[in-house]
Structure 1
Amino acid sequence: MGTNAPGSGRERVLFVLKTKGPQTAARMAKRLSVTAMAVRQHLAVLQAEKLIDFTDERRQVGRPARVWQLTPKAYARFPDRHEDLAVGMLQAVQRAFGDKGIERLTAERTRQQADSYRARMAGSDAPIEKRVATLARIRREEGFMAEWRRRGDGSLELVENHCAISKAARICAKLCGDELQLFRSVLGEDVSVERTEHILSGDRCCTYCITG
């Protein structure tokens, strides 16, 4: 199966590791529809640039499998939504107006986001899959590398493989809380949304379990 990863071969390898998590060279080759040798050549360059590293995982049979993953340095290669400006603004509001100023600012931001999202979302009578698919598309456009899927138990998962506001969220945790409330609001009262993985807690991605 191919991938929508952009750019050069090395960028495509980074994209796969970012969106799919740690991978063997063989698995990446299959996803990118290239040879394992081609992937290994890209891996050698990326490792020399300290953008990836690996662990050797033991298997019940045969040799250990070499599994590649991104390093912290690699995350700077992905969209940051002009976060330096956002962080500076948050810090300025905090100094000038205190915690209440931050609360008012984030509440207004969430309200504006909700209005914008709802203008593009299907109504509450639309199938939940359609609503989640639209939300994933909006978040993908905003740089969160979002995708969605149906789980074996019938629930849906919204996965954000990148946090486009991570610097701001690290100094203002309310942004993450407001984000969860935003999803609940725009998906409708008949839908339950719970965050099960969180990048700022050390997970690879932010994952939301959605039922309705």
Structure 2
Amino acid sequence: MKHDARAEEGVLYQLKTRGPQTAAQAARRLSVTAMAVRQHLYRLKLAGLVEFSDERRKVGRPARVWRLTSAAAERFPDTHGELTVEIIAAVRATFGEAGMDKLLRERTRRQLEEYRARLRPAGTSIAKRALALAEVRREQGYMAGCTRMPDGSMLLAENHCPICAAASACQGLCREELSLFRAVLGDKARVERTDHILAGARRCAYRISISD
């Protein structure tokens, strides 16, 4: 099979945004054959970018489920990660934790102004505001999406963190992010983080519902 770098990137993107899945599942989403996806997957496995496990099912043969390896993270770059980590270390050394907290609060204040302006056309509907927030985050590189859950809540999922290195060095960034979402969605919204990349999850996700 001829090497098709674009098709392989499509397979990687599916695993990044949809999580572990079989070749058949990826093929349906990409509108290609399962055989074509398998060929890409085995090539990617040789490159150390994907791995699989055979999972038993109630009926039939075990299903081969594919997932990204840690090496695949390089295909989804962290925005200026090394430089940001160095700046965080310099701020801590110069101004201490109090200075770092002040810096984070100022960053959140600026983000809040920007996000509120972007979400204003969505009105007061929490669902519409959540969808608008997902659009903003998607533009900023978080591979974000927002879906309505069976119970009526919204699930905001971010399949990539472009500031992961910085967040690892300064977890206050994640704390401020949650505060930002709560502030921008309004007092009537309850926002709970359900998945966290730094805790080992494949994505960050937030359940958004109407507060009591």
TM superposition score normalised by structure 1 = 0.94
Report the counterpart of residue 8 of structure 1 in structure 2.
6
- Answer whether contact 1:124 1:187 (CA < 8 A) is retained: no
Q: Which runs of 4+ in 1 moved over 2 A?
A: 122-126
1:151 corresponds to which of 136, 144, 149? 149
Say whether residues 1:26 and 2:24 are aligned partners: yes
Measured in 1, the distance between the counterparts of 2:107 and 2:84 equals 12
Q: Secondary structure at the match of 1:120?
A: helix
Structure 2 equivalent of residue 181 of structure 1: 179
Identity %: 54
Larger CA deviation: 49-58 vs 77-86? 77-86
Within-5 A mapping of 1:104-119? 104-119=102-117
SS in 1 for 2:160: coil
- Aligned partner of 2:62 in structure 1 is 64
Q: Is the 8 A contact 2:122 2:132 kept in 1?
A: no
Q: Residue 91 of structure 2 aligns with which residue?
A: 93
Kindly tell me: are residues 45 and 124 of structure 1, through their superposed partners in 2, closer, same or farther at Cα, counting changes over 3 Å? closer
Q: In structure 1, what residue type is equivalent to 2:110?
A: Q
Unaligned runs of 5+ in 1: 1-6
CA drift at 1:161? 0.6
Render the CA deviation track for 1:121-147: whole Å, top value 9, x for unaligned.
126843212101110011011111100
> 1:171: how far off?
1.1
Contact 1:124-1:188 within 8 A present in 2 as well: no
Q: Tell me the CA shift for residue 44 of structure 1.
A: 1.2
- Take 1:108 and 1:78, find their aligned partners in 2: how far apart are those partners? 28
Over aligned residue pairs, what C-alpha RMSD do you find? 1.2
Residue 23 of structure 2 contacts residue 34 of structure 2 at CA under 8 Å; is this kept in 1? Answer: yes
Are the aligned partners of 2:146 and 2:156 in contact in 1 as well (CA < 8 Å)?
yes
Report the TM-score, using the length of structure 2 for normalisation.
0.94
Given candidates 191, 194, 197, the residue that maps to 1:196 is: 194
Match of 1:40 in 2: 38
In 2, are the aligned partners of 1:122 and 1:130 still within 8 Å (CA)?
no
Separation in 2 of the partners of 1:79 and 1:115?
A: 27
Give the paired residue count.
206
CA deviations 1:136-183 (Å, max 9, x no partner) are 011011111100001111111100111111111111110000000000
Measured in 2, the distance between the counterparts of 1:142 and 1:201 equals 22
Asked if structure 2 preserves the Cα contact closer than 8 Å seen for 1:139 and 1:145, the reply is: yes
Distance 1:9 1:180, change over 3 A: same
Q: Secondary structure at the match of 2:145?
A: strand
Spell out, residue by residue over 1:179-212, the C-alpha distance to the aligned partner (whole angstroms, 9 max, x if none): 0000000111111101011110011111101012
Q: Which residue of 2 aligns with 1:78?
A: 76
Amino acid at match of 1:148: C
Residue among 163, 166, 170 paired with 1:165: 163
